[in-house]
Amino acid sequence: MFNHYTPGELSLPNRRRFLQQAGLGFGSLALGSLLHEQSAANTPANPLAPRAPHFPAKSKAIIWLFMTGAPSQVDTWDYKPELQRRDGQQLAGADPKTGFFTTSGRCLASPFRWAQHGQSGAWISDLFPHLSRHADDMAMLHSCWLAANNHAPASMELMCGSVRPGLPALGAWSLYGLGSENQNLPAYVVMHDTKPRGDDAIWSAGFLPKTFQAMAIDSRRPTLIDNLVRPQNQSETQQTSQLELLRQLNQEHLKDRSTQADLTARINSFELAYRMQMAAPEALNINQETQHVHKMYGLDRPECATFARQCLLARRLVERGVRFVQIFAGRGVGGDGSVADVPWDGHDNIETNHRSCAMHTDQPAAALLADLKARGLLDSTLVIWGGEFGRTSDSQGSRGRDHNPHAFTIWMAGGGVKGGVHYGRSDDFGYKAVENKVHVNDLHATILHLLGLDHERLTYRFNGRDFRLTDVGGHVLRDILA
């Protein structure tokens, strides 16, 4: 069991607000490491100092490619020949209220072509000409399920283990358990285009100290982090002196408030913000990459340039010791051709919607896998692909699909998982998980295990009881471990 901290306040992405608001930092070593030696007795504890895992880790970092809006499992990675044959026929056991709206109860065949790929012979739809080349790197979980059937609560359940708001997300738990390998960058970074439904609650630190809060970046903006550059009318010496005075005042304030972890987090946030002035611009500068790398990710293609930039930034961040990076895919069109509010949400026309979303994400995601492998980083970086639930096997609207929490596919690659394996099974129509069902608690237990953390030992005392990410459930999926 790790040490316990008391709760603090929410984090914000803007650097100036980051400095002004209480307890919104990510923690760091004391400023004395940069501003000359200081007394250890006067240096705040560093919650993000690297800590040893419970057992040897297979993964050092995680990149989660979150397909906002929920891709259809039966149109992407979970081929169902019976569904193809029964198009338009009644789906046995169909519940028209499985999703958020109402479905027809009649089977809807996938409009996409399917083929087998790699030595593993994985069936993958033609939505993914680039990712299909990496079939032998993927461990596909075909029997994922959860309770919520709408976007915001399902996203919270998938990331926080429960639909209840206010609980810490997986990324925050990983930092609480392991700390950070880079004290000059945020340890937990979220990138989004349009904010997903549920937004900040999906990556919240919850009742954990706000030291473990994610830094959210709107990837559409040319300046990813505001106020990162020192004002032109202030020299480095002036800023250093100013921060040193601030440190001394904070230390005096802290003497009589030693139990206030949020105050310590606030002090640490000032110090991290100072160090980010030097480390963040370099880490976020993708112009340092070659034109070959830019083209490989698809930065030269307007339809996927945003997601390409995000994936390339993710590689650069984990390369520099950032622990957890999550990308929320934010581009796509609805069935009527309009820009989709929730990208993969194919209620009306699954073909139009999913082709658009795959066009925006396929090449960059595949390039990320290839790039990590070429740099020797894939073995120690766990890449996860998936949305907040699946889609119904019966139709809605004009050949669309409704939400389906009873069966969906998530795949993982690298970071200690076997490539080319398929775990669990949905029924012959992809409607419900029926074999080796994977609850979110099982998924989280497995991810923590790959990070070297025992999910039953990673606890935090809050309101008089010990909490853990997996609550009272969770089993490690040992069959997918390398």
**Could you give the 3-state DSSP secondary structure of residue 382?**
strand
Whole-number pLDDT of residue 171: 98
- Tens of pLDDT along 171-215? 999 999 999 999 989 999 999 987 888 888 999 999 998 889 999
Angle between helices 440-450 and 170-178 (to 10 degrees): 30
244 burial type by CB count under 10 A (0-12 exposed, 13-18 middle, 19+ buried): middle
Whole-number pLDDT of residue 145: 98
Q: What is the mean pLDDT of residues 115-131?
A: 98
Whole-number pLDDT of residue 10: 37
Angle between helices 350-374 and 305-319 (to 10 degrees): 30
Tell me which residue has tokens 């992405």. Answer: 13
Cα–Cα distance list, 206 to 19, 173, 212 (Å): 20, 10, 9
Q: What is the mean pLDDT of the chain?
A: 87
Question: Domain with 334 in it: what CATH number?
Answer: 3.40.720
- Tens of pLDDT along 268-310? 666 666 677 777 888 899 999 999 999 999 999 999 999 999 9
Q: What is the mean pLDDT of residues 13-23?
A: 49
Q: What are phi and psi of 435, to 5 degrees?
A: -135, 130
* DSSP per-residue string spanning 221-263: SSSSSTT-SPPTTS-HHHHHHHHHHHHHHHHHHHHT-TT-HHH
C-alpha to C-alpha distance for 323 and 57, rounded to whole angstroms: 13
Whole-number pLDDT of residue 43: 36
- Tens of pLDDT along 334-368? 656 666 668 999 999 999 999 999 999 999 999 99
For residues 434 and 183, the answer to whether their CB atoms sit within 8 Å is no
Based on the structure, what is the number of domains in the chain? Answer: 1
**Could you give the 3-state DSSP secondary structure of residue 106?**
strand
* Those residues with Cβ within 8 angstroms of residue 299's Cβ, 6 or more apart along the chain or in another chain: 286, 305, 308, 309, 312
- Structural domain contains residue 379: yes
- Structural domain contains residue 458: yes
- Structural domain contains residue 6: no
- Structural domain contains residue 466: yes
- Structural domain contains residue 3: no
Which domain does 129 fall in, by range? 15-480
Whole-number pLDDT of residue 46: 81
- pLDDT exceeds cutoff 80 at 76: yes
Q: What is the mean pLDDT of residues 107-134?
A: 98
- Structural domain contains residue 9: no
Among candidate residues 306, 191, 136, 363, the one with its CA nearest the CA of residue 371 = 363
Where residue 32 falls among pLDDT bands split at 50, 70, 90?
very low
Report the sign of the C-alpha dihedral through residues 236, 240, 243, 249, in that order. negative
Q: How many CB atoms lie within 10 A of CB 190?
A: 28
Give the range among 79-83, 118-122, 339-343, 409-413 with minimum mean pLDDT: 339-343
| CA dihedral angle for residue 265, residue 270, residue 271, residue 275, rounded to 10 degrees | 130
Where residue 410 falls among pLDDT bands split at 50, 70, 90?
very high
Q: What are phi and psi of 214, to 5 degrees?
A: -75, 155
Whole-model pTM over 0.75: yes
Q: Which residues of 274-291 are buried (b: 16+ CB within 10 A; e: fewer)?
A: bbbbebbeebbebeebee
C-alpha to C-alpha distance for 476 and 28, rounded to whole angstroms: 31
- Tens of pLDDT along 2-12? 444 444 433 44
- pLDDT exceeds cutoff 90 at 391: yes
- pLDDT exceeds cutoff 90 at 114: yes
Whole-number pLDDT of residue 181: 93
Give the range among 80-94, 272-286, 306-320, 370-384 with minimum mean pLDDT: 272-286
Share of the chain above pLDDT 70, in %: 82
Q: Which residues of 11-40 are buried (b: 16+ CB within 10 A; e: fewer)?
A: bbbebeebbebebbbbbbbbbbebeeebee
C-alpha to C-alpha distance for 204 and 189, rounded to whole angstroms: 11
Give the range among 53-62, 268-277, 381-390, 469-478 with minimum mean pLDDT: 268-277
Choice between 335 and 33, residue whose per-residue pLDDT is larger: 335
Q: What is the mean pLDDT of residues 236-244?
A: 71
Where residue 250 falls among pLDDT bands split at 50, 70, 90?
confident
Whole-number pLDDT of residue 45: 65
Q: Hey, which residues does 404 pair with through a beta bridge?
A: 390
Q: What is the mean pLDDT of residues 80-98?
A: 96
Q: What is the mean pLDDT of residues 455-462?
A: 97
Share of the chain above pLDDT 90, in %: 70
